[in-house]
Amino acid sequence: MPLIRSISGLRATVDDSLTAELISDYMSALNTYLPAGPIVVGRDGRPSGIWIEKVISEKLSDFGREVRILGVVPTPTVQLMVEKSDAVSGIAITASHNPAQWNGMKFINQFGVFFDAEENAKLWKILDSKSFDDTIAQNPGLIKTIDKASEIHINNILNLPIFVNTPLIDKIKSRKLKIVVDAVNASGSKFVPKLLKYFGVDVIELYCDSTGLFPHTPEPLPENLTALAQAVINHKADLGIAVDPDADRLVLIDNNGSPIGEEKTIVLAAATVLSSNEFLDNKYKPIVVVNHSTTRLVEDLASQFEAKVIRSSVGEINVVGKMKASNAVIGGEGSGGVILPHSHYGRDSLVGIALVLALLAKKEKTLSEINDELPRYEMIKNKTPFSGDKKILYDAIKKSFSNSNINEEDGLKIEFDKSWLQIRTSNTEPIIRIISEAPTKLEAINLVNKALDILKNLM
């Protein structure tokens, strides 16, 4: 009966753990925690989201809340619709990239940002103690269906400084790009093709039927995108676009049908922003914020524009926190997440797509040519069962790398001149994650193996 509660919200298996009673209790706690005001609700398209949406909306309506139902939309659309309105919160019904038997909820505050650690702790305290008032309001709140979410989201992107009063949209249209889209039949199914068509793209919809029935494992990793890669080749397309079920992650296939790697999405997006003066003003500074697990290509890119890179712990809310504190012009995560405050403070695949199209037009090159210009690194990601004392493990790692630069903000990150090694214990699973990046695959493997040897000696 898997159930995961974390800073990223709630995820659980639908047939057993994610019950109507549990969802109702969450709504009671949320209603108690929040000030008066409307709540926005959207879902990623999984069939189970239909009944979850019904439980949420009816429960909140019973408390007199106005509930704004967006239907099947990307999670960033829910965030945007909260940030740009008078809503006091939002709920995205999604289990992100988890398999079909999972669903869950992501909670969004009045600023369109996911609940942080403090906000989650307050919500959980009310939930766990059941110290909420379930009194039914004398007058039920309105349940409204909002039909214009896609137009609002796309117009938000088309009104970015890079596109307003510049010839860039026409320049993108002149490329007459052909793009294949794999939205795993989920929330990006309508939104991504619709955005692309505004840029004059010939869209080939691979898995875009909005049924929420995944045609393959939904996480957009190369091994799950073979059909997309082949479709790019078969259609002689300029690129392939893959998004996860709630469309906050963007992964690209180049014009040769080769995955360029999810780590490079934020690099390409940052290249567009840092090379565009329209994004830099008195408010936003030439600063990029990414987490400690993201490729060091970000530093290489930033150095070309005399920009600064700030690192955070893994987690969108941690990246956003440092972006706001530093007035960073862009941020994101190596999982394919792009956060552009000129649009809103959330990972957004649609924003990422627009920035990549802009880069193709500005450079007048193919995606493979742009990718070939980037420095080469190899990244190894390993996860190993671990249920021991992480302090003992971390102490052993620090002792072994005592002559190296060690950052302890998010697990341990050992940094070298052109490579790094990170060791993090999971907050939700009895595992340890070991990630390395180096100019060659052998160097990256050797770094991971050294960490594994230390772990083995402790067991």
> What CATH number is attached to the domain comprising 312?
3.40.120.10
Domain count, the chain: 4
End-of-domain residue from the set 147, 179, 196: 147
| Domain match, 72 and 10 both | yes
Local confidence pLDDT in tens for the 459 residues of the chain: 578 898 889 999 998 999 999 999 999 999 999 999 999 999 999 999 999 999 999 999 999 999 999 999 999 999 999 999 999 999 999 999 999 999 999 999 999 999 999 999 999 999 999 999 889 999 999 999 999 999 999 999 999 999 998 999 999 999 999 999 999 999 999 999 999 999 999 999 999 999 999 999 999 999 999 999 999 999 999 999 999 999 999 999 999 999 999 999 999 999 999 999 999 988 999 999 999 999 999 999 999 999 999 999 999 999 999 999 999 999 999 999 999 999 999 999 999 999 999 999 999 999 999 999 999 999 999 999 988 888 999 999 999 998 899 999 999 999 999 999 999 987 667 889 999 999 999 999 999 999 999 998 887
End-of-domain residue from the set 323, 340, 372: 372
Contact criterion met (CB below 8 Å) for 76 and 344: yes
Residue 303 lies in a domain: yes
Supply the CATH number for residue 414's domain.
3.30.310.50
Provide the token pair at 59: 């429960």
Residue 72 lies in a domain: yes
| Domain match, 31 and 116 both | yes
| Domain match, 38 and 53 both | yes
Provide the token pair at 24: 């109702």
| Domain match, 50 and 24 both | yes
Give the neighbor-by-neighbor strand order of the sheet with 420-425: 378-385, 431-438, 420-425, 412-415, 405-407
CA distance 428 to 422: 18
Burial of 220 (0-12, 13-18, 19+ CB in 10 A): buried
| Domain match, 161 and 202 both | yes
Full residue range of the structural domain in which residue 416 is found: 378-458
Contact criterion met (CB below 8 Å) for 269 and 338: yes
Contact criterion met (CB below 8 Å) for 4 and 428: yes
Residue 275 lies in a domain: yes
| Domain match, 361 and 383 both | no
Residue 436 backbone phi and psi in degrees, to 5: -135, 155
Distances (CA, A) of 36 to 23, 42, 60, 138: 20, 20, 11, 15
Contact criterion met (CB below 8 Å) for 93 and 49: yes
CA distance 370 to 272: 12
Give all strands (DSSP E) within 220-327, no chain letters: 239-243, 250-253, 285-291, 308-312
| Domain match, 220 and 316 both | no
Model pLDDT, residue 1: 59
CA distance 322 to 291: 10
Residue 394 lies in a domain: yes
369 three-class SS: helix
End-of-domain residue from the set 147, 179, 202: 147
Which among 307, 314, 263 is positioned nearest to 292, based on CA atoms? Answer: 314
Which among 184, 138, 147 is positioned nearest to 68, based on CA atoms? Answer: 147
Residue 400 lies in a domain: yes
Contact criterion met (CB below 8 Å) for 179 and 101: no
First and final CA of the chain: distance in angstroms? 28
| Domain match, 22 and 138 both | yes
